[in-house]
Amino acid sequence: MSYDPNQPYQPPVAPGYGPPPGYPLAGQPPAPKKGNAKLILGIVAGLFGLCCAGGVIAAVASGGDETKAVAEEAAAPAAQETTTAAKAAPAKKTAAPAKKTQAAKATPGIGDPVRDGKFEFVVTKVDCAKTKVGNEYLNKKAQGKFCMVSVTVKNIGKEAQLFHGSSQKAMDAQGTEFSNDGAAEMYANQDNATFLNEINPGNSAKGRLIYDVPKSVKLTRMELHDSPFSGGVEVSLS
């Protein structure tokens, strides 16, 4: 019996007998073992499962981003409405300060009685039109102009008190202080000598205080004293 060297070796078989069970026929590949098939199927199933799991994770992540974006879009109009409402709401006005229960007392003026120490004063008139006081024999001329302030003085104390013209001050709007002119007062008050004398309790005297001031000056207030050491009281001349 001759054999083809290109064909796999086949053992001789007696007539009426086939190859042993499980032995491959000539020219057929051996059947794969069952164990290897299960292993291959398991590997394929595992890879498929990993792919599915990755897809699920990606979908969940994508869904989370989409959910966050939707939530932000839903919240944006509400935040915008809140901001718009806050801008549109009128600002609350601060409480106005409480009004004073008593108004500040105005400075007394011409015709108002004021007191300092033992004297009560009433300024009755202000005349700044003259440049000379006295008569044709006894007189004095002003360097600028004479402002004559007519005053009534009453002693409200219990002792005689001397009225001093030099204690009385006159001021302009800038606070410049002017003193009286004693010599001009002597000429201006010659008909009422008691003005420069002691005034007894309950008595009154009338006279004029004289101030030599520049022609451009306007006196606005007086500061009257019962003595050189008293606190004084203000009277408005305007």
More confident residue, 136 or 212: 212
Which token pair is 88? 């549109």
Q: What is the pLDDT of residue 52?
A: 53
Q: Where are the beta strands (DSSP E) in 85-182?
A: 113-116, 119-134, 139-155, 161-162, 169-172, 177-178
CB 165 within 8 A of CB 182: yes
Q: What is the pLDDT of residue 59?
A: 47
Query: Using CA atoms, how far apart are residues 133 and 148, in angstroms rounded to an integer?
Result: 10
Q: pLDDT tens digits for 21-30? A: 555 554 555 5
Q: What is the pLDDT of residue 72?
A: 57
pLDDT confidence bin for 186, thresholds 50/70/90: confident
Q: pLDDT tens digits for 87-134? A: 555 555 555 555 554 445 688 999 999 999 999 999 999 999 999 998
CB 154 within 8 A of CB 207: no
Mean predicted confidence (pLDDT) in 61-84: 52
Q: What is the pLDDT of residue 137?
A: 87
Of 219, 199, 205, 222, whose CA–CA distance to 112 is shortest?
222
**pLDDT over threshold 60, residue 7:** no
Query: Using CA atoms, how far apart are residues 229 and 161, in angstroms rounded to an integer?
Result: 13
HSE-CB for 117 with a 13 A CA cutoff:
18
More confident residue, 130 or 1: 130
Query: Using CA atoms, how far apart are residues 210 and 195, in angstroms rounded to an integer?
Result: 13
Strands 204-213 and 161-162: unpaired
Q: What is the pLDDT of residue 70?
A: 46
The DSSP code for 195 is G
Mean pLDDT computed over every residue of the chain: 75
Query: Using CA atoms, how far apart are residues 131 and 210, in angstroms rounded to an integer?
Result: 11
Query: Using CA atoms, how far apart are residues 145 and 211, in angstroms rounded to an integer?
Result: 8
Q: pLDDT tens digits for 8-46? A: 555 555 555 555 555 555 455 555 455 555 556 666 555
Q: pLDDT tens digits for 162-172? A: 998 889 999 99
